[in-house]
Amino acid sequence: METGWFVTANDIKQWTETNKRQAEGLLPELVRRLILASCKPDHLHFPSGDSIAIGGWDGTLEVDEGNEFVPSGFSVWEFGTNGSINNKFESDYQKRSDDPGDISLSETAFVFVTSRIWKDKDKKCSEKNKENVWEQVRGINADDLENWLQQCPSVHRWFASLIGKRTGAIWDIEQAWESWACGTSIKATFELVLNGRSEQSEHLLNKLTGSSLLISVKADSENEAYAFTLATIVKNEDLAPRALIVKDRISWNFLLETQNSLIFVPQGFTPENIGYAKQKGHFVVIPVDSSSPRMTSNEINLGKMLRDDRIIALQSMGISKDQAEKIYSDTRGFMGPIRRHGILGPHECMIPKWVDHFDPKVLVAILMMTKWDTRKSKDKEAISILADTPYDQLESKLYELTSFEDTPVRLIGSYWQVISKNDLWSLIARKINRQSIDRLENVVFDVLGESDPSFDLPPEDRWLGSIKNAVPEYSEELKFGLADTLALFSAFGDDECQNMGEIKLTDQVTYWVRELLTKDISARGWYSIGRNLVPLAEAAPDSFLKSLESSMEGSDPSIGPLFIEQGVFCGCPYSNLQWALETISWNLNYLPRVSLSLARLSEIYPGERHSNGPLNSLKEIYLGWINNTSATHENRLQIIDTVLIKYYPEVTWKLLISLLPEDHGGFSSSINKPNYHNWAETLKKGVINKDYYQYVNCVADKLIDLVDHDPKTRWLELVKNVTRLPKKSFYTFIDKLLTVKSNELDDNVKLEIANELRSIISRHKEFKGREWALPEEATCKLEEAFDYIVPDDLILKNKYLFDEYTPEFINPIIRLKTNHQDHEEIIENYRKDALLKIYQMKEIDGIKKLTRECNFPTIVGTVIAKSEFKSKIESELLNWLESDEENLIIASQSFIFWCAIVDESWVNLVSNQCSYRNKDWIVNFLLGLPFGKNTFEILNRMDKEITEAYWKKVNRYYLRENDMEMINWVADQLLINERPLNALDATHVFYGSSHDVSLDCSLLVSILKKTAFTSYSNSEKSTIKTELISAVQTQDYNILSAIEYIQEQGQLSREEVALIEWIYLPLLKYNSLKSVKPLYLEKEILSNPEFFVQTLSLVFKPNNEGDLTATSKKIRAENAWLLLSMISEIPGQQENSISAEKLREWIYKARNKLEKLDILKIGDSQIGTILSNSPVGTDGIWPHEVVRDLIEELRNPALEHALEIGKWNSRGATTRLPFDGGKQERDLAKEYHDYAEKLALQWPRTSEVLRSLERSYGRHADKEDWDVELLE
């Protein structure tokens, strides 16, 4: 080994003389490191650097066992670097002896250190020791430091490098970390390898503080394991001085003889004599990659750093979150590709060995495919063609490739996946040649041109394609990877692929895309291409646009069927079109055509259902306050003016409206960006305010100019958005509105405009002073416009009062200044005044016209009942009951209701008319009366036909407080008249209420049975349909509440309640509204093993059912299975305790009967499922001790397997963030592992059940991790 770098006493002396200031600051640090490398101090305080000027002792130390340089016990230290060594020693000795502070001199050693050669050291120290002032006095000079350094190679290496000596194949830990961290222009931080790995880091540190060991640190790459090791040790000030990076065998063999315990990290060679190193007291830490065999039981497996942890770590290096996410997306978080990523600016080439030592055809093939599914024979066929290798041989080569350090490919589940496509491209692009492109052409058309058979399914069933075996032969992953490769080639191929001869890759890609997209421009073609359209559009924008433009031509465009709604599970099949157009819109040359295409698509599909339709993409591109395009504001306005308005005026109008500033701030979801082309790279997201305001003013001016093109709709639409107009445009628009001639707009349009203005004025007046409210000048201008535009017709002018329950007024009622009652009274007075004016001007015909046209005729009737002219038009209103106009009947009934509330005698007087009125009048009159006892008395005097008609139609059946006792009678009447759902609705207020009235549970059972067995007609004329529709949202909840009420009341026998639970088992099981258990059925199962066996036999021995039909048998079997699946406790359970005797008796009786029916094995499985409901035991471990004892006693594999499955299924659905992976499952696996360990000796079979659960959750965790890794 080269020893020329060894530090001598003269080296130390010369360093002191030539770097005096540095020596003063670093000498204490040198000694501190030497102490740490050779002793185990209990206390160590040696200030260094600028801290030496603070004062006090230069150093204090306490150590149980010292050495030839360090005294045992407590010691104080003084340092000197000047040439007058004796004078400095004497001065420090005398000063500290005279004023030692609180130190006991007789129990303390005094140590003086100089970095010079001190000839009088032994003499001076001997003299002072004879004085017996201190416990002992020691001196250390440059000669001693030379010897001390020889015994501490790691500190020796550090100091040698510090004073300028070349140290060859031995590096200290700090130099090694700095070298690794500076491998990229953006320096790496500790977090890059340590974030989220505190447990593993602590584990390594703990091992390094024990007895000597061989430790292996395993990561996805040896390089990452190495960096983790460096970062962990360098951060620990106790271990860092003992650590060395050894780079060759000669240095390794030399260092083994060192007496002090060291930490060796071999790099670049395989060390020998590791056992000897351990015997000498050294630690050996070997970084390895994940493919390396296990070399020691002391292995620390880092695993892959979680996505969020890696992104945070990258941000710690000073890059933005967007950049960090980009790096992770490109590299999938693997260290090799990360350090080669362009954003970090790699300083070193860092080319993996496989680049030049592996079959280039295979490397190029996996680059082109990116990802494929080994379960798909067509995928394997395609990759074989590209690699020019049979698949079996190809896969063998791939496994060989994964054994390389920094491998470019991995197998995740059934998928082979390129780890970092960008990285692989940068490493092997030069290997792509004409032959590989020829092979690619053979594959492109077959793979990307495949038609998707799920298109032939009904649109709402297309999401079931995999279930209905309507799936493409090639995997979606393969297709997308191939399409993405074409985009990659189009961006970089011509520059980086040098072996193509006269072929230009961009021309080749353009040809392929053109052929693919012109093959089928129907909806089927676009549907089949799917998400691959986005990279294909980026690869060849012109080819894509031409095909799309052709498919949108004509009044019945071929692409039209793509926009047929496909149900809630299918998503938007046209979203890929939007994303493709958004992607190429970043290229300014294509923006006009993209804009036209989006406008045309928004015509084909206006997107009422989906807010993110084509028009929204157009809006996002043209927003003025953010740059979602490379076009300037001037460019955007030019395209609007010269292209969009000309060809798509209506779409452009909607676009311009959407570009106005939002009243309360805007939001942008951004748009799809190109993956490879740099069309958007130089773009600044921010917008200069001046540019934005100019842009918005131009947009507003265009809207005002265009309003005349369709005044019937555009005036109203712009009024609705008037507060979004810039100030100047606001007044310009209002002034223009004030010039509209009376004959230019009809009264209905004027009314809509006036109502909108009224609402705006009211809101801004009510909240004047708020930041968002219009100034008084502006509201006055709007009032002027309101007065000008509001129709003169008295009815139209006042209709707004009866179109809303809480109308808005030009002079608003300030809600915060009035209570609710006063507020309602003010509104009512407005309405009374309006009705009075209408009556005075137009008499009853005016009232009737208002009633027909308003939204709420109930308000008209109620207000008339309270008005001064009530008596004058009462008879006319009562006559409306015979009308066939619904609004007139409703107004009359509201009038009747209010009159009846105010004056019961009025009811008696009017009811006399029933003697000569027709049936419709009588029924409508009764329906208008308050629902209660008085009305029922009148009803009872009517004939059966009237009574039945009333109960068939009544839709207001809630009783007032003093009539509550009639609820059972009311429910019975509704039931008699075939309205069980409404009967339930009428009774629901009593469930769980404090009312004194009790519901008749027998009646509720009858209602529930009727509800269950009534077939409801879908006929438009059905009298039931209306009630069904009105109840559909609440019926399930009411049914559940009724069952719960019956269970709680205890009025009925167990059999009656159990029957209702049986009928409604599917609802109890699957509803998401209210948790109601089949309590009575469950109790019967858990207490009666015969009932359990009988229930199970309905599923597996249904032939003993007498004359039941096959359908009935099926329904009973399904219910039985549901019941068994809903058992939530176990026999003998009382809260968290279990009676061993009752449970054992139940199980043995059940098993005896199951055996007689020859369904014992099935029964054991079901018993195991029930036992999975066991509570935890007294030790906090599942299952309970009683259940564990039975498991050991029965020794039944079927029961144990079902117990495990039942516990697994009891977990239910889980929620997690997209990139969480299998953390939840790993935590559960660890929990079950710990439980199994604790139970292994006493309950071994139960322990094995827990271990099986541990393995299941481990596999599930892997699957969840794979799903994250496979995300695009």
Q: φ and ψ at 686, to 5 degrees? A: -70, 155
Note the pLDDT tens digit of each residue in 578-601.
Answer: 999 999 999 999 999 999 999 999
Note the pLDDT tens digit of each residue in 1015-1048.
Answer: 654 433 333 333 333 344 457 888 898 999 999 9
Q: φ and ψ at 980, to 5 degrees? A: -65, -35
Note the pLDDT tens digit of each residue in 389-417.
Answer: 999 999 999 999 999 989 999 999 899 99
Give residue for tokens 């205890």: 1050
Pairing of strands 136-140, 170-172: unpaired
d(CA 335, CA 434): 32
- The residue count for the chain: 1272
Pairing of strands 108-114, 73-80: parallel
Q: Is 697 exposed, middle or buried (0-12, 13-18, 19+ CB in 10 A)?
A: middle
Q: Determine the pLDDT at residue 53.
A: 59
- Cβ atoms 831, 856 nearer than 8 A: no
Q: How many CA atoms lie within 13 A of 682 on its CB side?
A: 7
Q: Determine the pLDDT at residue 768.
A: 87
Q: Determine the pLDDT at residue 1.
A: 43
Beta-carbon contacts of residue 779 (< 8 Å; ≥ 6 apart):
761, 764, 765, 768
Q: Cα Rg for the chain, rounded, in angstroms?
A: 43
The secondary structure element, H or E, covering residue 427 is helix 421-428
Report the pLDDT averaged over residues 600-615: 78
Note the pLDDT tens digit of each residue in 921-945.
Answer: 999 999 999 999 999 999 999 999 9
CA 295 and chain centroid, separation: 40
246-255, 684-693, 821-830: which has the highest mean pLDDT?
Answer: 821-830
Give residue for tokens 């040809």: 511
Structural tokens at position 562: 């793509």
511 has pLDDT over 70? yes
Q: What is the 3-state secondary structure (H, E, C) of 931-990?
A: CCHHHHHHHHCCCHHHHHHHHHHCCCCCCCHHHHHHHHHHHHHHHHCCCHHHHHHHHHHH
CA dihedral 349, 353, 355, 358 (to 10 degrees): 170
Measured from the Cβ of residue 1209, the count of other Cβ atoms closer than 10 Å reads 11
Report the pLDDT averaged over residues 804-817: 82
Q: Where are the domains of the chain?
A: 1-161, 169-348, 574-704, 710-791, 957-1075
Short-list 1075, 1084, 1077, CA closest to 1055: 1084
The full DSSP string for 1220-1267 is -TTHHHHHHHHHHHHHHHHHTTT-HHHHHHHHHHHHHHHHHHHHHHHH
d(CA 277, CA 285): 11
- Cβ atoms 677, 491 nearer than 8 A: yes
Pairing of strands 1133-1134, 371-373: unpaired
Short-list 627, 640, 740, CA closest to 698: 640
- Cβ atoms 261, 283 nearer than 8 A: yes
Reported confidence tier of residue 776, pLDDT bands at 50, 70, 90 = very high
296-300, 312-316, 494-498: which has the highest mean pLDDT?
Answer: 312-316
Structural tokens at position 197: 């790995």
d(CA 147, CA 8): 9
Structural tokens at position 160: 């040698």
pTM for the structure as a whole: 0.79
Residue 138's SS3 state is strand
Q: How does the average pLDDT of the chain come out, rounded?
A: 89
- Cβ atoms 1254, 1232 nearer than 8 A: yes
Q: Which of 32-46, 76-90, 790-804, 1208-1222 has the weakest average pLDDT?
A: 1208-1222
- Cβ atoms 931, 974 nearer than 8 A: no
Q: Determine the pLDDT at residue 894.
A: 96
d(CA 586, CA 679): 6
Short-list 625, 604, 626, 624, CA closest to 615: 604
Short-list 640, 440, 418, CA closest to 539: 440
d(CA 873, CA 844): 7
d(CA 819, CA 822): 5
Share of the chain above pLDDT 70, in %: 95
Q: CATH topology for 1-161?
A: Trna Endonuclease; Chain: A, domain 1 (3.40.1350)
Short-list 98, 96, 138, 94, CA closest to 114: 138
Reported confidence tier of residue 18, pLDDT bands at 50, 70, 90 = confident
Q: Is 964 exposed, middle or buried (0-12, 13-18, 19+ CB in 10 A)?
A: middle
Beta-carbon contacts of residue 774 (< 8 Å; ≥ 6 apart):
723, 764, 782
